[in-house]
Structure 1
Amino acid sequence: MSAATSARDPFTSRFIRNAMAQDMLDVETEHALALAWRDKRDEAALHKLITAYTRLAVSVAGRFRRYGFPLDDLIQQGNLGLMRAAEKYDPENGARFSTYAAWWIRASMQEYVMRNWSVVRTATNAAQKKLFFHLRRTLAKMEDGEIRTEALSSSVARALDVPEEQVQIMLGRMSGHDLSLNTPQSGSEDGRDWMDAIADDTAPTEERVLGDLEDRRRRKLLYGAVQTLPEREQRIIVERHLSDSPRTLAEIGADLGISKERVRQLEERALERVTRLVRTSASPAALSA
């Protein structure tokens, strides 16, 4: 649903009319309501405070419509920011609630726009956020022909005081919305969609199955060969080569009551036996037996 359609929705239109018809609060009333909510958790006071300034959410939402999101969704996000402002507002700090709430409303809508603009995160730091919300306005101020195309990103970077590399990235991200991979390719005569153009780098199913079978066969041969070793050599091979946390020669030697050099000798002899047994078991003659 487009923003224009949302604006003509009867419920949204009625909500906007009601919000704009609410009386603005004077300083004393606003302060009293904020104190009642902060100190007494008076929900009636909170309701009056929120209702009076819902017009702020409506007003800010109108400025965010240029990003192409439904107006009612933007207003809802603004109301969430308004609730957040009421929760964190300190009536003793001297600032009007309306001024404080306007910041939270904008922040809530900015977060919504960035979160839903693309499946790829558009802005992940302060510089990128600044770029996202000021890039188009900055570009609009630059008259056609005033700046060469190749110098555009550097000019924007200077104007917004952000790295040129981030300007180039953001220009690419904001060049258009995401497209479904099921969208038909333009000019395709056989109805192919973009999903058909993605190469599958994985091995064919038959190759994967055969590879898995071969891996299991080799593991079976290896563990079978290890089990033929004497108990001490079997332990050395398992703890040195088949464990997620291999132990050192010195550690194993301490457990067995022998020197680490003796452990090394036993390990070398055991590896030779295992290698010989695996090769013998994997030979064509053994496989055909």
Structure 2
Amino acid sequence: MNQSISLPIPMPLGSLDHYIQAVRAFPVLSAEEEHELASRLKQHNDVEAAKSLVLSHLRLVVSIARGYSGYGLPQADLIQEGNLGLMKAVKRFDPDRGVRLVSFAVHWIKAEIHEFILRNWRLVKIATTKAQRKLFFNLRSMTTHSGSLHPEEVQEIARELNVKPEEVLEMESRFSGHDISMESHGEEDGEETYSPIAYLEDHHPEPSEELAEREMEILHTVGLRNALESLDERSRRIVEARWLREDNTATLHELAAEYGVSAERIRQIEQKAMQKMKLLMAPA
């Protein structure tokens, strides 16, 4: 998707109910259809393919945006921001990774909605670092009562979210302030609204973290395979039997009986092979 090309994606600028009905009318893609469209986009920059991928996932954005209604922001704005995240996800989606677009897109959609909330919700002026943002989106769900936090609770939350106790108290005081009502005032546009105390908790990593973890997993997998291939057949067999089985891990005595040597000899071969593999897998 080139930036110069504008996709005719419907935005919730009119009746929200009509918009929701419209996005539900777009068909859900099968895995094969999704892979074909994503491949056309990746290989040929096919804008029509990108449009089909986006339209088929607009209902996902609506579903996610509903969970953030407790911040007092218009639902239409949350959906529009989520749609931007969806388009970013479609642009970056790799169909050859074996992951469905719905799993990949959810992180980008939430990231855009989070940024919009942080820019527009008046109570959140201190949520500037990653840790403070995590505190903002998780504090209420970690509080088991409606009163003030006890000192032990402050310490526990600060430790778990990697922030200072003072930051926990400051955020708690902002939630307890009167800049915005903490209670729901009924329904808006025919839909039920929720107070900020009931916001949706999100434990998913940010998109950049997700991609970094996947790349690191690939590197580790390739490095392990290369390190194993560097071993002689017996050493590789011992390492695999001792460390790479999910169950039925072989003992030193079992391998000793298999090769007709002592258990101590098997231990020595294992130790030497592991040292060699660690050197090969060490970062350059």
TM class, shorter-length: 0.5 to 0.7
Check the 8 A contact 1:61/1:71 in 2, yes or no. Answer: yes
Query: Which has the larger Rg?
Result: 1
**Residues 1:103 and 2:107 are matched in the alignment:** yes
- Which of 55, 64, 75 pairs up with 2:79? 75
Output the amino acid matched with 1:175: S
Q: How many angstroms does 1:163 deviate by?
A: 2.9
Task: Indicate how the Cα distance of structure 1 residues 130 and 115 shifts in structure 2: closer, same or farther if over 3 A, else same.
Answer: same
Task: Indicate how the Cα distance of structure 1 residues 35 and 176 shifts in structure 2: closer, same or farther if over 3 A, else same.
Answer: farther
**Structure-2-length-normalised TM-score:** 0.54
Instruction: Flag as ranges the 4+ runs of structure 1 deviating above 6 A.
Output: none
Distance 2:45 2:15 in 1: 30
**Residues 1:173 and 2:177 are matched in the alignment:** no
Output the amino acid matched with 1:64: Y
Check the 8 A contact 1:117/1:177 in 2, yes or no. Answer: no
Q: Which structure shows the bigger proportion of residues in helix conformation?
A: 1
Deviations 1:166-215 (A, max 9, x none): 21122133334648xxxxxxxxxxxxxxxxxxxxxxxxxxxxxxxxxxxx
Task: Indicate how the Cα distance of structure 1 residues 89 and 134 shifts in structure 2: closer, same or farther if over 3 A, else same.
Answer: same
Higher relative contact order (CA 8 A, sep 6+): 2
Which structure 2 residue ranges, 5 or more long, are not aligned? 1-11, 181-284
Aligned residue number for residue 45 of structure 1: 49
- Which of 92, 112, 115 pairs up with 1:88? 92
Task: Indicate how the Cα distance of structure 1 residues 148 and 36 shifts in structure 2: closer, same or farther if over 3 A, else same.
Answer: closer
- Which of 119, 142, 161 pairs up with 1:115? 119
Query: What secondary structure is seen at the aligned counterpart in 1 of 2:15?
Result: helix
Deviates more, 1:61-70 or 1:14-23: 14-23
- Which of 113, 123, 130 pairs up with 1:126? 130
Output the amino acid matched with 2:173: G
Query: What secondary structure is seen at the aligned counterpart in 1 of 2:96?
Result: coil
Aligned residue number for residue 22 of structure 1: 26
RMSD of the TM alignment (CA)?
Answer: 2.6
Identity of matched residues, %: 39
Check the 8 A contact 1:57/1:82 in 2, yes or no. Answer: yes
Check the 8 A contact 1:31/1:91 in 2, yes or no. Answer: yes
Which structure 1 residue ranges, 5 or more long, are not aligned? 1-7, 180-289
Q: How many angstroms does 1:66 deviate by?
A: 1.0
Q: How many angstroms does 1:129 deviate by?
A: 1.1
Output the amino acid matched with 2:76: D
Distance 1:43 1:144 in 2: 50
Distance 1:54 1:118 in 2: 28
Aligned residue number for residue 260 of structure 1: none
Aligned residue number for residue 164 of structure 2: 163
Report how many residues are paired. 169
Q: How many angstroms does 1:151 deviate by?
A: 4.0
